[in-house]
């Protein structure tokens, strides 16, 4: 189990750093903002958990911020 954990963590880090190298740090960080929603979908499917309206609004605000990061990145690349 320990070896499997090290392999899983190592493989995840390798993929993340390759993503940073290929896409850039801003895009990779923006994509990581979606992680809580994947967690929510899994918690809903497996445990039947739900979010309150305030939690959902906060999550959507974070995703909107990530979208603005992606838009800013595209604008800076187009301007150079």
Residues 28-48 pLDDT 10s: 777 777 787 888 889 989 999
Instruction: Look up the pTM and report it.
Output: 0.55
Say if 5 falls within a structural domain.
Answer: no
pLDDT by residue for the chain (80 residues), tens only, comes to: 888 888 888 998 898 888 888 877 777 777 777 787 888 889 989 999 988 899 889 888 888 887 887 788 778 877 65
Domain hosting 74: range is 24-79
Say if 60 falls within a structural domain.
Answer: yes
Q: How many residues does the chain have?
A: 80
CA distances from 67 to 23, 24, 28, 31 (A): 15, 15, 12, 9
| Domains in the chain, number | 1
Residue showing tokens 């979208």: 67
Say if 6 falls within a structural domain.
Answer: no
Say if 17 falls within a structural domain.
Answer: no
């Amino acid at each position: 189990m320990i070896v499997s954990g090290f392999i899983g963590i190592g493989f995840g880090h390798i993929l993340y750093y390759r993503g940073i190298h290929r896409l850039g740090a801003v895009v990779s960080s923006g994509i990581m903002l979606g992680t809580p929603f994947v967690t929510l979908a899994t918690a809903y499917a497996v445990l039947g958990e739900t979010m309150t309206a305030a939690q959902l609004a906060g999550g959507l605000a974070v995703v909107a911020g990530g979208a603005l990061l992606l838009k800013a990145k595209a604008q800076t690349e187009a301007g150079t």
